[in-house]
Structures are given as C-alpha cells and as structure tokens.
Structure 1
Amino acid sequence: MVKARTLVALMLALGGTATQAAPLEVKLGFAAPLTGPQAHYGKDMQNGVLLAIEEANAGKPKIGGKEVRFVLLSEDDQADPRSGTVVAQRLVDAGIKGMLGHFNSGTSIPASKVYAAAGIPQVSMATSPVYTEQGFKTTFRMMTSDTQQGSVLGRFVVSRLGFKNLAIIDDRTAYGQGLADQFEKAAKAAGAKIVAREFTTDKAVDFSAILTRIKPTGAQAIFYGGSEVQAAPMAKQLHQLGFRTTLISGEMVKSDGFIKLAGDAAEGVVASLAGLPLEKMPGGASYVARYEKRFGSRVETYSPYAYDGTQALIAAMKKANSVEPAKYLPQLAAIKLAGVSSGQLGYDARGDLKQGGITVYRVSKGKWEVLESLGK
C-alpha cells in the first residue's frame, strides 16, 4: 500500500513537472559584418549583446506574468547596404521583437526603414547623424553620433594640439564621410584652414596618388574618416613618402588591430573614441571580469556599448511589462539606466544618447594612451 501511494505521488510529481509551461521565447535580432575585413568589429559587438542576453536569461525574467527567455537571431550583413536591407527583412519576417544592430551606418540607415515600417525598435552602433535624423520613432544609438564626436575632435585638434592647416580624407561611406564632415565643420569654426579634401573607398589599399597631392599643401595633420583597414596602409605610406604630419581618425581606428597592421607607422597616430576609457567606465572593471570569463578574450572597442544597448532594450520590455514593440517603445525612449559605459544611459527626442563624452588617444610606444577625456 505504501509502495502504491509512493508510485502515485511520483507519477503526479512527474506529471506536474511535464505540464509546467516552458519559458516564452522572445526573439531579438542582431546584424553586423561577421565575415570579411570588418568581421572583428561585428564579433566584438555580438559578444556584448550575447553577454547581456545571457545575464538577463540567468535571472529568469517574467514579463506579462510569464517567464521569458531571450533568443538572439544573428545575421551577417557583410557591411553591405544591400545585404543589410535583405537581412533586416529576414529578421522582421522571423518575428523579432527588437533589433540590436546594425554595426555600420551604411547598413543601419537603409535597414532602419524596414524596422520602422514594422514598428520594431532598433538600437544600432551607427554614428552617422542621418540615422536618427530620418524622423523614425524606432531608431536609437549605442554610441555617440558623428556630430558629437567630430565636433569635439575637430576643436581639440586645433585648440589643444595646435594644428591649423589640415587635410581631410574620407572613405565615402555614411560613417566615414559623416565623421569627416563634422570634423571639418568644427575645425574650421576653431580657426583651422582645410588645405585639401580628398576621398577614397573602403576597399582601397593604395593612397599614394592622394597623399602625393596633399604633400605640397603643407598640411600639419591629416584626418581620415574610415576604418583601420584603410588607415593602417595609409599610415605606412605616409612614412614611405616622408610626411611629417600626424594622422588623426575616429573610433574605427582606435584598436589594437590598427597598431598590429600599421607597425612602426602607428606611432603618434591620434584617434577618438566615445565615452571614457574602459578602466574608467562606471561598470568597466566588473564588465571586464565577466566578459573575460565568458569569452576567454580581452574586451575590445564596441562590446560595452552593445551590452548597454541590449540592456536598455530588455529593461524597456520589463518596465512596460510587455515584449510587444508598440507597448515597450515609449519606455525605451524614456529609459534611464546605469550602464557599463555611462553612469546614466538615456536618449533624447531623436534617439541620440544624452551623454556624449569623447576620449582622445595617441599611439605611444606601440600602445594607445589617453591624451584627454572631453565633454560634448
């Protein structure tokens, strides 16, 4: 009799376990270059997103009275605008509730139209001003815009570094040209003379013709709007052509990869990056420890911002008590969050980050060293 009761109790327990509802899967989209020359940027960004999602899932969150589990759907947009829109539509069709990405401005801007039409909030690494100037209510940033970064760096180069004659080159991408335009505007306002304005592409490796045209102008510094893939050979060719100028650029050049690719030619190069240095970020030390334990590698440039952007999206869902985009979108727009990169992450009416500090770095003895941290 005891055995029979025990068997019944066991069956009831097993039956009860079997009927417990599984967590509701909430699909979040991600897109970035995961192959090709910019794949390391995309992977860095993806790691930050993954860490935020895994930590959120570990807390067994409940939204709308149900336990939810966030699932990441990742796509490779190859840093190509046409691929970006294809990927965006594929993610929308897959039923994502929020979008984390894209990485490049050139892919984020055309893809944003797809997400906006579907009413899906998009938190992107895009820095081009155009991204949030389109009037969509669904666009938000992970990093400061080129307007913020270019204006701060342009003033700094003239007023702090003392360069008055400047040449500018950009790669004609939405990111590179946008950053160069903002830099030029601020540098001129600070009293600089732009002695040359040239452009290339994000596929070029030979800049000898451009640099030969610039050399007679007497440029004290050359600003380059683009990535390390072009900046590294450009730095080498500056040395080979006997330039006595400083190469200056934005956050896509502020990487260990640039130093590795440029070698000795990296010495003295100046680059800006959004926010504070990692070791001075409000949540930097803890983030580094968790990141390195999870991925077994060093934190790179973009992952802290991707982590914060993901946190903001998930926090908005929790505040709205809903994973439906139309319901949590107002909460995302009004979010106030203590992030890794910022003491208080929040957005303005356009979806730009309210806190837009910039840190300027210079390569010294083969390492990036802080020159100065600046406000907007």
Structure 2
Amino acid sequence: MQTHRPHHTIAAAALALCSGIVLAQEQVVKIGHVGPTSGPIAHLGKDNELGARLAIQELNAKGVVIGGKKVRLELMGEDDAGDPKQGTQAAQKLADAKVNGVVGHLNSGTTIPASKVYADAGIPQISPSSTNPKFTRNGYKTAFRVVADDVHLGGTLGRYAVKELKGQSIAIIDDRTAYGQGVADEFEKGAKASGGKIVGREFTNDKATDFSAILTTLKSKKPDVVFFGGMDAVAGPMLRQMKALGLNIKLIGGDGICTAELPKLAAGTMADGQVFCAEAGGVDATQKKAMDDFRARFKAYSKLEVQVYAPYSYDAVGVLVAAMVKAGSAEPAKYLPVLAKTEGYPGVTGTIGFDTKGDIKNGALTLYTYKAGAREALAVVR
C-alpha cells in the first residue's frame, strides 16, 4: 500500500533545505585570542579573553557586513599559560586554522615569539597589553598594540618615584621575563635621569614565592622605595614578606601588578598609599562615561569586575573588524594595509590610531595607588 508523505513534512524538509542554503551563505570570520587562561595569572588572561568575547557578542548582535555580505564573528580562544613555548604553539594552531586576525598575547614574553608566527602567516595581531618595545620593533607589518610601551611606562614611573614620592635610595627587583626586565630597565633609566640613586638590583622569576633572601639583601641597603618588574601573582607574596621583614617602604610597579586582585594576593598586608603602579592606558574625563558604560556591560556579561585589560581586548576586536569593514574584506592581505592606517577609532579606551611601527599614537598611562583594598586613580599622563 502506497503511503503519502504528509504535506507538513515536505514543507519542513524544504524549510530545512532552505535554511541550510542560508547558513552556507553566512560567512564566518574567525578571530583568535591568546592569553594565560591557566596558571598563576589566569585571572588576567580570562579578563582579556572575556573583553574580546563581549566585543564579538555585541558586534554579532548589531550585525556586521563585510564586502556586501553579512558575517558572523567567532572567537577561537587559546591558552598560552604565560609560557613562551606554549605561546608559539598556540599561535601556530591559530595560523593553521587560518584565523582572520588575532587579539593577544597578554605577556610580552609570549607575544614577541608568537609575533613571528603571525608575521610568517600574514595574520594581523593586536596585543591589548604587551608593553615591551621589542614587540613592534622587529619590523613585522602584522604587529600592533593598543597600549603605551615600557619606554613610556617605566620612564614615567622612574620620574614619579623620584619627583613625587621623593625616592632618594631606590632598589629594583625584576622577574627576568621580557616584560619584567624590560619595564625595570626603563624605570632605572627614568629614575637615574631624575636624580635618583639605585642602591641595589636583584632578580627573581615569575613562579617564585620566597623572596626573603633578596629582600634581606635590599633591606641592608636602606632603600626608601622598591620597584618590582613583574606580575601581581608574585608582587602579592612579596608584599607579605616585606611586611614580615619590617620593610615598610613604598612598592612601585608597572601594569603587571596594577590589578584589582593585588590586595587579595597581598592578604591584607598593604598599607594605604604604600603601593603605586601605572596601567598602560587610561581615559581622560571626556571619555570616562564610555569606560564606565563598558565596565557595567562587562560586569553584566561576565559577572566579574574588570581586572586591567579587558577594555583593550574589546577595542582590539573592534579595530580589527572596523578595518575589515572598511577594506570590504576579511582576508588578512586585503585589510592589513587599512588596519595599519587606523586613525581616530572611537574606542572605550580612548581614540585609537597607529604609528608606522604599529604602536598606538599618544598612548596614555594611568597612575594608581591603593586605599582600603581598592585601586584609586591618581592621574592620567600622556
């Protein structure tokens, strides 16, 4: 007996076929993100990745059209654990997946070796947080950053330590990473140029937890300020041990320690106004509303407070996509020249434009201290 297929199943099959054609026409643009989403600074890597994910969610909701076709943006997140070797492996994975652009990495130590992989593959890379000058001085046309570099950051902190904090005898500790050592070198130059005296320089590593030997050595030299080049996961225990040794002096650091997490990592041993740090970035009064709005959207999206660089990751995605839209293509070779000429992009972190090296023009720094366990902005410096 012949059975007739009901009309509604034929209609459903036709509809499924049509939607399949529609889906096939929808172009997917893949953006890679790499940061340490495991390990001691995972809170910073996740912060960066969530900033990028929020940008993609909002852009998809608005609808992005590139070259007359509606596209759907997708984020490919990779973990580099803050390790240079893992960083290049993550970069190779993204290059093999033929992503259209990359936001990352977080640390200079992973960003610099990974930048060669992206350059070889011709994939544009914007770091939201790497500050070592070498990143944009290797001559790679694919390397960009949306924050000021260590020459600016370290030098400014060096001058601040001498002029504002009246540091006469200054000790320096760094973690020997590309970031920590680089920012400490620039701090030393800035402090010396301002008339400060460096009484000792010691080093540790980015996994260390015991600093009693180096702190005891420095204590004998009677510094009134100590600078640490490294990340908050190391600075927290260092502050605890400074207190235990009776080394009640000011600690200065770069953006690696300038996080919302630092007071927790220091476990209540930070005195008000003891720690000073600078974030590579920051907004003037005119741009405060855009940043406040972003922080509110980020919290609603992630249920977390911004640590440091989520807004820069968010803007990095926006800058990449704006260049694709303007070029009418998501192909790296076609939109890269447009990206390089970015000028006047209205980001939540301020107005973004790149110089010939791929560095942000007129990058800002924000100086902070901590009071009652919370970060407090002191000034925005350009």
TM-score range, shorter chain: over 0.9
What is the Cα-based RMSD across aligned positions, in Å?
2.3
TM-score relative to the length of structure 2? 0.91
Greater alpha carbon shift after TM alignment, 14-23 vs 339-348? 14-23
Specify the alignment match of 1:152 in structure 2. Answer: 156
Question: Does 2:39 align with 1:46?
Answer: no
Letter of the 1:143 counterpart = V
In 1, Cα distance between equivalents of 2:81 and 2:158: 30
Q: Any idea what SS the aligned residue of 1:281 has?
A: helix
In structure 2, stretches of 5+ residues that fail to align are 1-7
Specify the alignment match of 2:35 in structure 1. Answer: 32
Q: Is the CA contact 2:319–2:345 (under 8 Å) kept in the aligned structure 1?
A: no
Q: Which segments of structure 1 move beyond 4 Å, counting only runs of 4 or more?
A: 6-18, 277-280
One of 298, 305, 308 as aligned partner of 2:312: 305
In 1, Cα distance between equivalents of 2:348 and 2:160: 22
Letter of the 1:202 counterpart = D
The C-alpha deviation readout for 1:307-345, integer Å capped at 9, x for no partner, is 111111111101101111111111111112444443311
Structure 1 residues 343 and 363: CA distance shift in structure 2, 3 A:
closer
Specify the alignment match of 1:122 in structure 2. Answer: 125
In 1, Cα distance between equivalents of 2:16 and 2:278: 59
Structure 1 residues 163 and 323: CA distance shift in structure 2, 3 A:
same
In 2, Cα distance between equivalents of 1:92 and 1:176: 28
In 1, Cα distance between equivalents of 2:16 and 2:291: 45
Question: Does 2:297 align with 1:290?
Answer: yes
In 2, Cα distance between equivalents of 1:144 and 1:348: 12
Specify the alignment match of 1:271 in structure 2. Answer: 277
Structure 1 residues 33 and 11: CA distance shift in structure 2, 3 A:
closer
One of 70, 75, 78 as aligned partner of 2:73: 70
Matches within 5 A, 1:98-247: 98-124=101-127, 125-247=129-251
Deviation at 1:358, TM superposition (A): 1.3
In 1, Cα distance between equivalents of 2:379 and 2:206: 29
Q: Is the CA contact 1:282–1:339 (under 8 Å) kept in the aligned structure 2?
A: no
Specify the alignment match of 1:262 in structure 2. Answer: 266
In structure 1, stretches of 5+ residues that fail to align are 1-5
Letter of the 1:148 counterpart = H
Deviation at 1:185, TM superposition (A): 0.6
Deviation at 1:80, TM superposition (A): 0.7
In 1, Cα distance between equivalents of 2:235 and 2:304: 25
In 1, Cα distance between equivalents of 2:162 and 2:372: 24
One of 17, 23, 26 as aligned partner of 1:23: 26
Letter of the 2:169 counterpart = N
Structure 1 residues 12 and 197: CA distance shift in structure 2, 3 A:
closer
Structure 1 residues 333 and 63: CA distance shift in structure 2, 3 A:
same
Letter of the 1:263 counterpart = A
Letter of the 1:86 counterpart = Q
Q: Is the CA contact 1:57–1:69 (under 8 Å) kept in the aligned structure 2?
A: yes
Deviation at 1:9, TM superposition (A): 10
Letter of the 2:154 counterpart = G
Q: Any idea what SS the aligned residue of 1:75 has?
A: strand
Structure 1 residues 241 and 174: CA distance shift in structure 2, 3 A:
same
Deviation at 1:296, TM superposition (A): 2.0
In 1, Cα distance between equivalents of 2:59 and 2:320: 11
Q: Any idea what SS the aligned residue of 1:244 has?
A: coil
Letter of the 1:118 counterpart = A
The C-alpha deviation readout for 1:94-135, integer Å capped at 9, x for no partner, is 111111111111111001000001111111121111111111
In 2, Cα distance between equivalents of 1:341 and 1:220: 37
Letter of the 1:245 counterpart = I
Deviation at 1:283, TM superposition (A): 1.4
Question: Does 2:232 align with 1:250?
Answer: no
Q: Any idea what SS the aligned residue of 2:40 has?
A: coil
In 1, Cα distance between equivalents of 2:300 and 2:203: 42
Q: Is the CA contact 2:276–2:368 (under 8 Å) kept in the aligned structure 1?
A: yes
Matches within 5 A, 1:53-92: 53-92=56-95
The C-alpha deviation readout for 1:33-75, integer Å capped at 9, x for no partner, is 1111111111000011001111111122121222111111111
In 2, Cα distance between equivalents of 1:11 and 1:263: 62
Specify the alignment match of 1:3 in structure 2. Answer: none
